[in-house]
Amino acid sequence: MEVPYYDRHVRFDPDCLKEHRGNSSVASTMLNALLAWPDHPYGFGTLYGSEFDPETKCRESFVIAETVDLNKNEIHAKERALIAEVKAQLTRGRKCQVFAVYSNKHDVIERLEQLFRSEGIRAAILRASVPTHRRGAWYREQLRRGIDVALCHPKIVETGLDLLDFPSILFHETGYSLHTLRQGEPPVLAHRTATSRGG
C-alpha cells in the first residue's frame, strides 16, 4: 500500500502529538505547516512546539516533525496548472490578478513571479509595504509597463481597488478569512469598482 503523501514528506511524531495533546503551539505549527508546505515544499526543516517547564520556569522546545524538501527547481503540479490557466486567459486578452497568502518566510508569491517570468509572462508583486493610498497608482504604473499578471495577498486589495483591467481573478491560495475571499471574488470586485466609478 502506498504511503500517504504527507507521511512521506511531513513526518509528525505520533508519540509527541499524544504527549502534547491540547498544546496550542503544536496545533498552530501543524496547521501552518500543512497549509503552507504543499505550495512551498522546501525550507521548513524541523518543526518545533514549546511548553512551560515548571522546573526551569522557561518555555522549552520539543520536536513535532521532520520535513523532507522537494526539489525547488522543479515546477510542481499546482504551479503548472496555474501557469496553464494564466496563459489561457492571456490568449483571450484577459490580464490576471493572482492571489496567494504566503508572502513572508515561505514566499509563494515571489516564487510564482519567478515562474511566470521564466515562461515569458510579465508579472509584478504588490507588497504590503506599498502604502494604501499608493496602491491604485501602483496598478496604473504596472499597466503602463505592460505587465500581464499582478500578484498579491488578497487582504491588500480588499479595501476596494479598481481592478477592472485585470478581469481574470485566480486564487492560488485562499487563507482563513471567508470575508477576504469574498471581497476578492470577481462579482464583488466588479460591483466595488463599478461603484467607485459611479456605475
Residues 25 and 91 in one domain: no
Q: Tell me what percent of the residues of the chain surpass a pLDDT of 70.
A: 79
Provide the greatest CA pair distance for the chain. Answer: 66
Residues 136 and 94 in one domain: yes
Domain that holds residue 44: 5-67
Domain count of the chain? 2
Q: Is residue 183 a contact partner of residue 158, using CB atoms and an 8 Å limit? A: yes
Give the model confidence (pLDDT) of 62-73 as tens digits.
Answer: 888 888 888 888
**Mean pLDDT of all residues in 117-130:** 95
Residues 114 and 19 in one domain: no
> Could you say which of 16, 44, 67 is where a domain stops?
67
Q: Decide: pTM greater than 0.85.
A: no
